[in-house]
Amino acid sequence: MEPLMNYELIDDIAVITMDDGKANAVSYTMMESLNSHLDQAEKEAKAVVLLGKSGMYSAGFDLKEVQKGPEAANALVNTGAHLFHRLYGFPMPLIGGCTGHAIAAGAFLILCCDTRVGVSGDFKLGLNETAIGMTLPVFGYEIAQSRLSKRHLTAAVIQATMFDPDAAIDAGFLDEVVEADHLQARCLEIATQLSALPKQTYGQMKRGVRQSSLEKIEASLR
């Protein structure tokens, strides 16, 4: 099944839901679709909520593409870097609704969001790159160091520790955890509150705070 992504505008809030029926792999098709929906949101919305499917936010980059070899893997990761750069500097409130597992590139999707709400349950969030013999690209190091707790940075990045939703709050992957049936409503509540802030100023402040990381990521793009 090709990756699916739903877009819905609810009272000036763009709700984008990733659901490929499987692991929500960060593939070329999914990234193209997400970028298209972000384009639409920038034209008509005041904030964005980015959700996953029930039980799975995203398991990371598309393994089928990665397994084609280093050249294919690097090309996919570079395309992902462009997306993460855009998300991290997105010029309006971006709320992540982490519906379940968020691993590797999936964890970076949630880390790029301004406010991150997760669901309670037997789910894992984390960066497993060390465990699978991979190092992070520039965007990975920059976003991890910017968003994760310094107390947990070694465990999270170097030691590939996986966190359950409650521990993920302390580690810096999430800001709060709710029951699954309350997730979308809570994300919309936060998005509505933040959308009342001056949009242009919000974007300027975000880019100002994250300027150093955004510039380093941009310099690494090919």
Give the domain range for residue 131. 5-220
pLDDT surpasses 80 at 2:
no
65-76 pLDDT, tens per residue?
A: 988 998 999 999
pLDDT surpasses 80 at 1:
no
15-32 pLDDT, tens per residue?
A: 999 999 999 999 999 999
Query: Residue 140 corresponds to which tokens in the numbers above?
Result: 């990975």
Nearest to 164 by CA among 155, 173, 151: 173
CATH number at residue 210: 3.90.226.10
Beta strands in the chain (DSSP E): 5-10, 13-18, 47-51, 55-58, 94-98, 100-103, 115-119, 125-126, 162-163, 176-178
In total, how many domains does the chain have?
A: 1
At how many degrees (to 10) do helices 70-88 and 138-147 cross? Answer: 40
Q: Does the predicted model carry a pTM greater than 0.75?
A: yes
d(CA 185, CA 155): 32
Residues 158-167 have a mean pLDDT of 98
Planar angle of CA 194, 197, 203, nearest 5 degrees: 90
88-121 pLDDT, tens per residue?
A: 999 999 999 999 999 999 999 999 999 999 999 9
CA 202 and chain centroid, separation:
19
What is the pLDDT, as a whole number, of residue 4?
78
